[in-house]
Structure 1
């Protein structure tokens, strides 16, 4: 009889989590079968915590609910059908989520262990938050822009901590200004704000009005500080930038949806230091660089990698002619390189679609 292969730490973690989930769900289903439930109501997920979620009712009241076992995926922003407990419940839950409505959009994040994980649903605008500190990175912005273009959701680039611009070296200040001007020339909306001094907040409020928006960005760029400045009553956790690594400290742990005074909604998402794109293939990533599109398909060779040594490369020729910014092509190649090194061996990239 052959030896059983020893499970690694990640596999053991998932096995134990699944066992615990099954035990909890069995107890939950028995309780729900015995509970007296009212009629169906509509709502939207404010946030999810394991097998429970906070639902905003039609009048924006938060209700804590259990989640039916048949629901395979549930994230912040999902529109749901739920039922209220009418009898006495021993737990703190006030209802149960019965079904999830079809999503109009979905922002997902690749995870090394768990594949592509959904972050938030039914959003129509993504605020890409960057900042002077930690170090401004056009490459990280481009990763988020690719993610936005892939799911066809409008991005808005927001430079936070603009009050620190006078404190950085002139070369760094010029680098930031040039990059932001580049994105504006491509056609993206760019805003400069300071959560600390409240500068530019009126511009942000105008952009958020009547939209469902989500804030994303690497840890430490001040997402939670910006959310607090826009919604001072919520008091989102704020973390400092590490003096050792220069990187931000994670503060927000789950995506949470907040109602805005301007008839819109804002989702604060967990901070991440790098937005992986290994779930896409190279041709899809190139198509998601919108300034590449006029030149795609014009290269001399079909399998062109758009490197300087590739003869007849339309993208390289566009850079030389001044029709394409060299930084964008540089960032594209760095993204493609990182996709190859960070992709799990079991992962299968999503195919090209146009």
Structure 2
């Protein structure tokens, strides 16, 4: 008995339903449609897909197995190439290799959100405009210390300062140099000290973090002219930068090393950290922690506080000490606000 042939309308309906399943992410790659397992690195993370780069430098857009909840830029993954491309999708990511480290931030809706993985150093980008905020730098440094990832503090737009103003910001940055952090003043516009930044970036995989408007995209345009990252102006009303980057990406640098650019974040929240973790994020506190008179010392007005005594003796900078308590207070306020928001849902 001969097989019944499908009409053209039936074929079109089947094909239409097939594409609808793919667009709704109902489609699942079957083993017979896929090749052998390969290793690659995630270089771009989109909402529903990820771009995987092979050892030969080819890039393929892939679906994610439903069991993979969190694939980020920098992840080393095992993936399989499909025998045909379906709506621009070339394959599927099967698994993630163990991470060396990861950079995370809290999200009101998603809880803890991993931004990138397998990072060698975090480049904290600040600027003289909208203004140099040591409190924001300290916030990022707490994250770096808890993730155990080295940090470089970069001050951009240094060309906008006169000699006196430059001396003042260098004095502020000296606070961090004294406790072992590396700092660098530069200008993406004039090119000042960009060669020094190149040398830092060539050492491995780096990621830029910082408020919107500090010039992260301008730095990327200077480092990678072919990328042409969109830049944003600082708002005259809010004094804050406008969000420009839309997807996390990993770029290969000509001088060596890799650079991860992630969507602009105005501020890293710390409400996901315990107070003890914020305390551990201040490296100069470590030599005196555990020597306070009381074990539950809050390092504020407590009698016999070794940390406050170190501040009074000039061993810990008073600005950092004040910022520490601001971060603790800010954490408590944010946790309370988040609790009320959850109750309203």
Q: What is the TM-score with the length of structure 2 in the denominator?
A: 0.88
Shift of 1:34: 7.7
Which residue of the other structure, out of 35, 38, 41, is the alignment partner of 2:35?
A: 38
Cα 1:21–1:248 shift into 2, 3 Å: farther
- Alignment-derived partner of residue 273 in structure 1: 266
1:123 and 2:119 correspond: yes
Shift of 1:310: 2.1
- Alignment-derived partner of residue 229 in structure 2: 236
Which residue of the other structure, out of 327, 335, 339, is the alignment partner of 1:335?
A: 327
- Alignment-derived partner of residue 191 in structure 1: 184
Contact kept? 1:210, 1:262, Cα under 8 Å: no
1:67 and 2:60 correspond: no
Cα 1:310–1:174 shift into 2, 3 Å: farther
Contact kept? 2:158, 2:166, Cα under 8 Å: no
Shift of 1:340: 0.4
- Alignment-derived partner of residue 82 in structure 1: 79
Contact kept? 1:35, 1:85, Cα under 8 Å: no
Helix, strand or coil at the partner of 1:50: coil
Taking the aligned partners of 1:52 and 1:143, their CA distance within structure 2 comes to 31
- Alignment-derived partner of residue 17 in structure 2: none
Helix, strand or coil at the partner of 1:178: helix
Contact kept? 1:25, 1:69, Cα under 8 Å: no
Cα 1:316–1:91 shift into 2, 3 Å: same
Taking the aligned partners of 1:22 and 1:315, their CA distance within structure 2 comes to 58
Of 330-339 and 265-274, more deviation after overlay is shown by 265-274
Helix, strand or coil at the partner of 1:107: strand
Helix, strand or coil at the partner of 2:30: helix
Task: Give 1:1-354 correspondences, 5 Å limit.
Answer: 24-26=24-26, 28-29=27-28, 32-33=29-30, 36-87=33-84, 89-166=85-162, 170=164, 173-307=166-300, 309-343=301-335, 344-345=338-339
Shift of 1:345: 2.4
Please list every run of 5 or more consecutive structure 1 residues that lacks an aligned counterpart in the other structure: 1-19, 348-354
Q: Which consecutive segments of 4 or more residues in structure 1 shift more than 6 A? A: 20-23
The CA RMSD over aligned residues, in Å, is 2.0
Cα 1:304–1:261 shift into 2, 3 Å: same
Taking the aligned partners of 2:141 and 2:234, their CA distance within structure 1 comes to 24
Helix, strand or coil at the partner of 2:325: helix
Taking the aligned partners of 2:232 and 2:74, their CA distance within structure 1 comes to 25
Taking the aligned partners of 2:244 and 2:213, their CA distance within structure 1 comes to 9
- Alignment-derived partner of residue 3 in structure 2: none
Shift of 1:25: 3.0
Please list every run of 5 or more consecutive structure 2 residues that lacks an aligned counterpart in the other structure: 1-19
Shift of 1:176: 2.1
Taking the aligned partners of 1:95 and 1:22, their CA distance within structure 2 comes to 13
Shift of 1:271: 1.1
Over alpha carbons, which structure has the higher Rg? 2
Taking the aligned partners of 1:72 and 1:113, their CA distance within structure 2 comes to 15
Taking the aligned partners of 1:324 and 1:143, their CA distance within structure 2 comes to 17
Taking the aligned partners of 1:40 and 1:114, their CA distance within structure 2 comes to 31
Taking the aligned partners of 2:107 and 2:340, their CA distance within structure 1 comes to 12
Taking the aligned partners of 1:210 and 1:242, their CA distance within structure 2 comes to 35
Taking the aligned partners of 2:59 and 2:22, their CA distance within structure 1 comes to 27
Contact kept? 2:72, 2:116, Cα under 8 Å: yes
Taking the aligned partners of 1:160 and 1:35, their CA distance within structure 2 comes to 52
Taking the aligned partners of 2:296 and 2:96, their CA distance within structure 1 comes to 42
Q: What is the TM-score with the length of structure 1 in the denominator?
A: 0.86
Taking the aligned partners of 1:214 and 1:346, their CA distance within structure 2 comes to 33
